[in-house]
């Protein structure tokens, strides 16, 4: 039977299907068009930027670190370029230890390299490259390049290394640079965006000394390169670049030749010396012995060297000039005398009888081996260093009056020097003791504790920086300047020099007649007092004061006998000095630890420093040898004109084995970018101008003197330890002046 078809119905169904399909196609095209509009119009700028970022990489250009030079333009810190072998752990195709072992078959990798690498791993992310070997030779670079395909994640990089040409000379003052630690990275995260951007790509930062305190000036400004990359991230071509700006040149007030002399005079002994120009606060010498070689830290110090330095009984990590605190001993007496004049407790001509001891209750405070000086006025009390005179004075003044008179000189506080990490020491008072101790019986001040303060013992505890600054303030009539080591900052691009102006932080307005009394009394120390033998034949008039400070307490019924004590328990030797007498240009404080009488060990060092600065005289080699042994008095042998003395030998690229004998440096008018290769000799920039009355400091050099160089010591900021302790309270024997 024939089936009849409904054509109209089928056509309607077909048209419906066509319409639905057409609508579906239109909707799809609408979605595509709308998405295209969003991508091409609405989000065009955003997506274009992302695409550009994928195509273009911004590579930071790390600037050359600025130079550090002394007052005569001698370069104390510069840079040189060298190759390093570096590992990026996240890109390794094999186990780390296996890769290092395989690298050892191509290049020499010592155990200390492995230990340093593991230590650096603790402060780095897995995607950061870490050096396993530094300062590769050209032969080693070629050898690895030939095997490069075997080591994904390992590459050769060219880096700038910091170099300290004179090794351990002035190491504490210069400081050093080191790899940025994780803690420092966290601190940098709090910096402004601009500052963080300026350190992008930078892996090292100043850790101590000038390197730390003037980090922003020395770092410079980071540049950048825009590099077009392929889909695989490989560079194709450089589009544009902004060169990095080298760090500025830091010019110090230090004379490195004088610095080398002082360090040589100390020999193997421990101690510190700070010399300051009273007229403006400029530091002329800043010595802490033993020192350390900053070059050890540039590529990361190895474990053996760190252990040796950190565990040494000599504490080479301690900056004794900045952080070492000591009782000032009899060097405190001129300040006590000035306090007595100001408060009216004494007049210059007032006489007391020094019978060798002072009784306070049932305590006997001794003086100079129990023999007295007889009738003593103020001048004789300083020249002959009478303890009894100052025991009595301290008892009359009381601890709080002494504190109030001494605080304006800077004792017990920071001097304001342009170095970080300065210790404050202790200037005792009743309030100070209440804050310092916890138990009620310890908080109380006992009258007997005041007596020893008069001779610089007891709770008194100061740095050599404080003592030198106070001495400069006293002889300059009360004008107190913040000590500063940096004289000027030189912009390497504009050639402009910004002199760091002297900062007057206090004026005690001392009466000239009072200052003259104390200065003349200190002059007497060099003429008829405790340092007479040392200053015989000096071609200038100077003032000084010897001091002997206890390292441990000696009981009341015992006498001090150095031979029975261990070396670290013996008295410290101190000396303060200034010259010339009427118009001082230098004031200094020096301590030789556990060396005994100040006139025997400390005063001879001070005499040679004054000879250098005031008379332009340099001691003979035999004289230096005597001073090193603690046997120096007046200089012996023919002196040498300062200008005829060669510079200390320089090292190449921080290598201990490569020593360059001093030669006449080539004149260099550029104080600009750091060297791009290892230095071949001592470098010199133009010297800073000096007053006409100062002797010339740099002329033709004759090779006759080589400073002693001990095995390199080094020192990071872990040097927060204090100096050998001194027992507080009343001493039971009177130290010599």
pLDDT of residue 321: 96
pLDDT grade, residue 697 (50/70/90)? very low
Predicted pLDDT at 591: 97
Per residue in 136-168, pLDDT tens? Answer: 888 988 988 888 888 888 888 887 889 999 999
Task: State mean pLDDT over 36-56.
Answer: 72
**CA 49 from chain center: how many Å?**
47
Q: What is the mean pLDDT of the chain?
A: 83
Residue 716 pLDDT greater than 60, yes or no: no
Provide the residue count of the chain.
737
Question: Judging by DSSP bridges, how do beta strands 352-354 and 374-376 pair with one another?
Answer: antiparallel
Q: Are 548 and 367 in contact (CB under 8 A)?
A: no
Tens of pLDDT, residue by residue over 460-509, are: 999 999 999 999 999 999 999 999 999 999 998 899 999 998 899 999 99
Q: Count the alpha carbons within 13 Å of 470 in the hemisphere toward its beta carbon.
A: 26
**Model pTM?**
0.80
Dist. CA 177–CA 207, nearest whole Å: 5
Which of 269, 263, 266 is closest to 594 using CA atoms? 269
At residue 291, does pLDDT exceed 90?
A: yes
The reported pLDDT for the residue numbered 391 is: 95
Enumerate residues 6+ apart whose C-beta is below 8 A from 549.
326, 327, 328, 329, 456, 457, 571, 572, 574, 591, 726, 735
With cut-offs at 50, 70 and 90, classify the pLDDT of residue 225.
confident
In tens, the pLDDT along 516-570 reads: 999 999 999 999 999 999 999 999 999 999 999 886 555 544 554 555 566 667 8
For helices 621-628 and 603-610, the axis angle rounded to 10 degrees is 150
> Residue holding tokens 């230990």?
115
Query: Residue 657: which pLDDT band, with cuts at 50, 70 and 90?
Result: very low
As a whole number of angstroms, the distance between CA 673 and CA 677 comes to 12
Helix (H) / strand (E) containing 51:
helix 44-55
- CA gyration radius for the chain? 35
In sequence order, the β-bridge partners of residue 226 are 58, 240
**Which two structure tokens, joined as six digits, stand for 230?**
């392929």
DSSP helix/strand/coil, 87: strand
How many helices (DSSP H) and strands (DSSP E) are in the chain?
25, 27
**Is residue 277 over pLDDT 70?**
yes
Please state whether 491 falls in left (phi above 0), alpha (psi between -120 and 50) or beta.
Answer: beta
634: CB partners within 8 A, 6+ apart? 533, 534, 535, 536, 537, 607
Work out the angle at residue 517's Cα, subtended by the Cα atoms of residues 608 and 598, and round it to the nearest 5 degrees.
35
For residue 571, give the 3-state DSSP assignment: coil
Task: Read off the pLDDT band of 43 (50, 70, 90).
Answer: confident
Q: Are strands 177-179 and 204-206 parallel, antiparallel or unpaired?
A: antiparallel
Percentages helix, strand, coil for the chain (3-state, rounded to 5) are 35, 20, 45
Beta bridge pairs of residue 479: 507
The values of phi and psi at residue 475, to 5°, are -75, -15
Residue 693 predicted with pLDDT over 50: no
Catalytic residue IDs: 330
Using a pLDDT cut of 90, give the percent of the chain over it: 50
Q: Is 84 in contact with 133 (CB distance < 8 Å)?
A: yes
pLDDT of 219 > 80? The answer is yes
* Mean pLDDT on 395-404: 96
Closest CA to 629 of 251, 330, 268, 202: 268
Span 100-125, mean pLDDT? 82
In this prediction, residues 20-26 reach a mean pLDDT of: 87
Predicted confidence at residue 616, as pLDDT, reads 95
Q: CA-to-CA distance for 457 and 438, rounded, in angstroms?
A: 22
| Integer CA distances (angstroms), 210 to 50, 170, 216, in order | 43, 11, 11
């Amino acid at each position: 039977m024939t089936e009849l078809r409904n054509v109209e119905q089928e056509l309607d169904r077909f048209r419906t299907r066509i319409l639905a399909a057409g609508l579906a196609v239109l909707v799809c095209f609408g979605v595509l068009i709308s998405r295209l509009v969003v991508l091409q119009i609405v989000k065009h700028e955003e997506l274009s930027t992302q695409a550009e970022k994928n195509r273009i990489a911004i590579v930071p250009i790390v600037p050359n670190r600025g130079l550090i030079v002394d007052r005569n333009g001698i370069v104390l810190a510069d840079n040189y370029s060298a190759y390093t072998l570096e590992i990026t752990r996240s890109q390794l195709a094999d186990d780390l230890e296996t890769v290092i072992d395989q690298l050892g078959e191509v290049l020499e990798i010592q155990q200390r390299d492995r230990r340093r690498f593991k230590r650096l791993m603790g402060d780095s992310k897995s995607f950061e490259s870490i050096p396993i070997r530094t300062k590769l030779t050209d032969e080693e670079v070629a050898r690895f390049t030939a095997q490069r395909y075997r080591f994904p994640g390992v590459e050769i990089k060219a880096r700038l290394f910091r170099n300290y040409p004179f090794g351990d000379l002035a190491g504490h003052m210069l400081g050093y640079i080191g790899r940025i630690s994780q803690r420092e990275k966290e601190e940098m995260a709090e910096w402004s965006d601009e500052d963080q951007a300026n350190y992008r790509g930078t892996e090292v930062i100043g850790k101590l000394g000038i390197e730390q305190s003037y980090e922003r000036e020395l770092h410079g400004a980071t540049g950048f390169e825009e590099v077009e990359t392929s889909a695989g991230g490989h560079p194709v071509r450089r589009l544009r670049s902004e060169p990095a700006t080298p760090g500025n040149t830091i010019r110090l007030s230090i004379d490195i030749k004088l610095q080398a002399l002082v360090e040589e005079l100390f020999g193997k002994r421990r101690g510190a010396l700070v010399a300051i120009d009273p007229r403006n606060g400029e530091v002329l010498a800043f010595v802490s012995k033993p020192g350390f070689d900053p070059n050890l830290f540039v590529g990361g110090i190895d474990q053996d060297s760190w252990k040796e330095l950190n565990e040494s009984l000599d504490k080479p990590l301690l900056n004794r000039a900045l952080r070492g605190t000591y009782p000032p001993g009899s060097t405190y007496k001129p300040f006590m005398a000035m306090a007595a004049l100001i408060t009216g407790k004494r007049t210059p001509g007032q006489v007391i009888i020094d019978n060798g001891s002072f009784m306070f209750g049932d305590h006997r405070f001794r003086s100079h081996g129990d023999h007295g000086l007889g009738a003593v006025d103020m001048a004789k009390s300083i020249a002959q260093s009478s303890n009894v005179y100052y025991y009595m004075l301290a008892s009359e003044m009381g601890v709080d009056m002494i504190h109030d008179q001494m605080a304006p000189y800077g004792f017990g506080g920071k001097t304001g020097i342009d170095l970080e990490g300065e210790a404050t020491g202790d200037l005792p008072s009743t309030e100070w003791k209440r804050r310092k101790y916890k138990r009620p019986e310890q908080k109380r001040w006992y009258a007997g504790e005041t007596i020893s303060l008069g001779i610089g013992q007891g709770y008194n505890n100061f740095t050599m920086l404080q003592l030198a600054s106070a001495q400069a303030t006293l002889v300059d009539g009360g004008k107190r300047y913040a000590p500063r080591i940096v004289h000027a900052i030189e912009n390497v691009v504009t050639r402009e020099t910004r002199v760091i102006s002297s900062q007057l932080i206090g004026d005690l307005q001392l009466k000239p007649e009072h200052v003259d009394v104390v200065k003349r009394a200190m002059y007497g120390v060099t003429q008829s007092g405790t340092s007479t033998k040392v200053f015989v034949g000096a071609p200038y008039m100077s003032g000084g004061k010897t001091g002997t400070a206890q390292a441990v307490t000696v009981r009341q019924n015992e006498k001090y006998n150095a031979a029975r004590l261990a070396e670290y328990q013996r008295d410290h030797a101190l000396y303060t000095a200034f010259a010339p007498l009427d118009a001082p240009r230098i004031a200094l404080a020096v301590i030789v630890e556990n060396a005994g009488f100040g006139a025997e060990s400390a005063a001879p060092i001070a005499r040679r420093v004054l000879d250098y600065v005031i008379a332009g005289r340099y001691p003979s080699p035999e004289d230096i040898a005597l001073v090193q042994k603690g046997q120096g008095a007046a200089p012996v042998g023919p002196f040498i004109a300062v200008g005829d003395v060669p510079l200390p030998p320089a090292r190449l690229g921080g290598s201990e084995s490569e020593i360059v004998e001093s030669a006449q440096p080539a004149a260099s008018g550029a104080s600009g970018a750091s060297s791009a290769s290892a230095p071949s000799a001592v470098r010199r920039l133009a010297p800073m101008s000096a007053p006409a009355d100062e002797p010339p400091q740099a002329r033709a050099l004759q090779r006759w003197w080589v400073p002693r160089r001990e095995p390199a010591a080094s020192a990071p900021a872990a040097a927060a330890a204090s100096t050998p302790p001194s027992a507080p309270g009343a001493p039971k024997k009177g130290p010599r002046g």
